Structure 1
Amino acid sequence: MGGFSRLWSFVSKAGLFGDAATAAYIALVAAIAQATGLFYVLFPELGALSNDILRRPHGTWARAPVLLVVTPFLTAIVGTLVTRHMAYDLSSVLLTVGCAILIIRVLKSPIAPAISAGLLPLTLGLPDWRYPPSLLVGTGLLAVLAGIRHRAAPVPLTLVRARDRADDIVEEAPIDYSWAPFFLLFLLVAGLAASLTGQRFILFPPLVVIAFEMFAHAAVCPWAGRPLILPVACGLTAAGGVIAVSLLGAGPLAAACIAILGVIVLRLFDLHVPPALAVGLLPFVMPDPTYAYPVAVTFGTALLTLTFLAWRRLVAALGRS
């Protein structure tokens, strides 16, 4: 019995239970998507949300099950409405992202991945009104699992790890928006590049979430401290997603493999970027994923890195003056 307790303690501390549970959950949602024929039931950001919620049952996202369901649903409605009435260009991108951030601000929601839910239909050219309610399947199931996991997992009696405290802050809705002009500058540059080249995935939906949390919580955001490795990690998870779907098809096995591969990449780099798991799952909902996707992902993430470094240098210079 003592040996089992020690083993379980190791598994829990290493986050292995959460990683395995994430792969199982993603496979289940993929099976539902395959059975219903609605591929967008597997909303890619479910990878990020499930990994954090199942690993950290007392974290910020896990403590907001209602907003977990409501926020992506509302932003998806906005994204679908924009997609039905506007072509993909810089104005439609900015309108969609702006409305999604407004929804998050009004609701005081910590669910930043909902921004991706709004931008996804515009990026994919998906004007289907079945998309918003389809998100309720995955987020609703995850909300139930979050509640069960939250009640079953003991409340830590010791001090919470510094990384957990940082993750909680990063997931909270921002209070200060002084960073917004540079975030907007990034959206303008990346959106313009996507529009001019026709490579919409230069501004892939999870990248907006990565940028939002990176700028909003620069002091504690895990990937804000290592921005140069971010394009490599996202590029690898994107390539892994394309390879998995190409070899295994868009089914539960491919989805589980993508989730596991994403976790492995992030662990190899010791980089905690939950939205990177969504990057790997995007090929699952793309009509014809090709290797142009990881190239576009790497380029777009590099643009974010350059913009963020420029902003951080400007802030430091103003602080010294």
Structure 2
Amino acid sequence: MNASLPKNTKIISYTFAFILIIIMVTASVIMKDPEVILPEIAAMAIAMWVYRDAGWIRQPSKIFIAPSVTAGIGFAVNQFNISYLGKVILTLILIMLFLRIIKSNLAPSIATGLLPLVMNSVEWTFMLSVFFFAFILMLGVLTLGLNKGIEKKVRIQYKYMNVFLLFNFIWIGLIWIVGFPQLAVIPPVLVVVYEVLQKPMYNGKMAVKQVVSLTISATVGSFLYFTIDSWIIITILSLILMLILLRIVGIRLPAVYAFPLIPFVFPEEIVAKLPIAAFIASVFFFGSVLAYKKLEKIPRSKINQVNE
């Protein structure tokens, strides 16, 4: 939570973010079309309107452009007649190339790009939903001037895009070996992994908090999905529970707001496996980031001595 914001402003910000998320789910229910639901929009609403994360709002135009284009990439790749894992690998590479071209580190663009594969999206309502909600998020940032005073350009460490791809390729290989290809993509986890890779400092305490928070979030989402019939009620309850969860754990992690919406768009047989999958994926990815960050801190001279 942005501690610099007055309490009333925080309450209003949360209210508008929650309303947007509920409207999205309600529209899906009314239209009887799950492709209207974009779990990452929940994370973006919280990160941009409530936390006012500089990394997500410094270039408002990209709030609309980046997720829209990556969603288009994923939607197009999903039409190819290749295996699911092949689609995932190709989409990840194209997303990283696109983000490098536009010089953006907007992590939720990864989730919107992979979502069409997870949903097996074939209807244009998915793309229209991305356009609409991304535009609303951008409009909110511009209208309230949330990006004022934030440096528009920041140095991007492009090497971490390659590291991110490497971690994903290893994970995809492991998932292929155990025979659960549908679990190759868990968008909320990947978004957080990409973000922490870009951070100069990362430690085990933060990794543990993130693993715990994401696992609980996935568990709550799956439990509510199988016990309550109303998607709208599930959404309202999950938003409240995630707010409480993050206050208890003591971190800002917008991705936990996306996880409870994942069961609405994942194949039902995968939803039951989501909590354990979220835990294993989180341990693998955040453990890999920790190991890489520690390796980075070792002077190159010592590494050369070991190799000799």
TM-score by length of 2: 0.84
Per-residue deviation, 1:282 = 0.9
**Higher mean C-alpha displacement, 299-308 vs 65-74:** 65-74
For 1:96 and 1:34, locate their aligned partners in 2 and report how far apart those are by CA, in whole Å: 29
2:31 matches 1:36: yes
Which residue among 111, 115, 118 is the counterpart of 1:116? 111
Which residue among 258, 274, 290 is the counterpart of 1:293? 274
Any idea what the Cα deviations from partners look like across 1:138-170, whole Å, max 9, x if unmatched?
A: 22222333333337x9x79xxxxxxxxxxx89x
Any idea what the Cα deviations from partners look like across 1:14-34, whole Å, max 9, x if unmatched?
A: x34333332222111111222
Which residue among 100, 111, 122 is the counterpart of 2:95? 100
Per-residue deviation, 1:304 = 0.6
Any idea what the Cα deviations from partners look like across 1:174-210, whole Å, max 9, x if unmatched?
A: 6222334432331022112233321523531222211
- For residues 199-210 of structure 1, the aligned pairs below 5 Å read 199-201=181-183, 203-210=185-192
Q: Structure 1's 94 and 26: CA in aligned 2 closer, same or farther, altered over 3 A?
A: same
Per-residue deviation, 1:224 = 7.6
**Higher mean C-alpha displacement, 45-54 vs 131-140:** 131-140
Partner of 1:130: 125
Partner of 2:7: 10
2:233 matches 1:253: yes
Per-residue deviation, 1:89 = 4.5
Q: Structure 1's 130 and 20: CA in aligned 2 closer, same or farther, altered over 3 A?
A: closer
Partner of 1:78: 73
Q: Structure 1's 69 and 133: CA in aligned 2 closer, same or farther, altered over 3 A?
A: same
2:239 matches 1:235: no
Partner of 1:214: 196
Per-residue deviation, 1:63 = 4.8
Partner of 1:188: 169
For 1:256 and 1:186, locate their aligned partners in 2 and report how far apart those are by CA, in whole Å: 34
Partner of 2:44: 49
**Higher mean C-alpha displacement, 236-245 vs 179-188:** 179-188
Q: Which amino acid aligns with 1:203?
A: V
Q: Which amino acid aligns with 2:294?
A: R
Work out whether residues 174 and 216 of structure 1, in 8 Å CA contact, stay in contact via their aligned partners in 2. no
Partner of 1:283: 263
Q: Which amino acid aligns with 1:97?
A: L
Work out whether residues 100 and 115 of structure 1, in 8 Å CA contact, stay in contact via their aligned partners in 2. yes
Q: Structure 1's 246 and 148: CA in aligned 2 closer, same or farther, altered over 3 A?
A: farther
Q: Which amino acid aligns with 2:293?
A: R
For 1:291 and 1:20, locate their aligned partners in 2 and report how far apart those are by CA, in whole Å: 30
- For residues 159-170 of structure 1, the aligned pairs below 5 Å read none
Q: Structure 1's 179 and 109: CA in aligned 2 closer, same or farther, altered over 3 A?
A: closer
For 1:316 and 1:109, locate their aligned partners in 2 and report how far apart those are by CA, in whole Å: 25
**Higher mean C-alpha displacement, 290-299 vs 280-289:** 280-289
Per-residue deviation, 1:307 = 0.8
For 2:43 and 2:257, locate their aligned partners in 1 and report how far apart those are by CA, in whole Å: 6
Partner of 1:312: 293
Paired residues in the alignment total 296
Partner of 2:160: 179
Per-residue deviation, 1:280 = 2.4
Q: Structure 1's 124 and 87: CA in aligned 2 closer, same or farther, altered over 3 A?
A: farther
Q: Which amino acid aligns with 1:315?
A: E
Aligned-CA RMSD value? 2.9
- For residues 59-70 of structure 1, the aligned pairs below 5 Å read 59-70=54-65
SS of the aligned residue for 1:179 comes to: helix
Q: Structure 1's 179 and 52: CA in aligned 2 closer, same or farther, altered over 3 A?
A: closer
Per-residue deviation, 1:320 = 7.3
Per-residue deviation, 1:275 = 2.1
Per-residue deviation, 1:314 = 1.2
Instruction: Determine what percentage of the aligned residue pairs are the same residue.
Output: 21
Q: Any unmatched runs of 5+ in structure 2?
A: 303-308
For 2:134 and 2:229, locate their aligned partners in 1 and report how far apart those are by CA, in whole Å: 23
SS of the aligned residue for 1:249 comes to: coil
Work out whether residues 123 and 205 of structure 1, in 8 Å CA contact, stay in contact via their aligned partners in 2. no
2:142 matches 1:147: yes
For 2:99 and 2:163, locate their aligned partners in 1 and report how far apart those are by CA, in whole Å: 19
TM-score by length of 1: 0.81
- For residues 268-279 of structure 1, the aligned pairs below 5 Å read 268-279=248-259
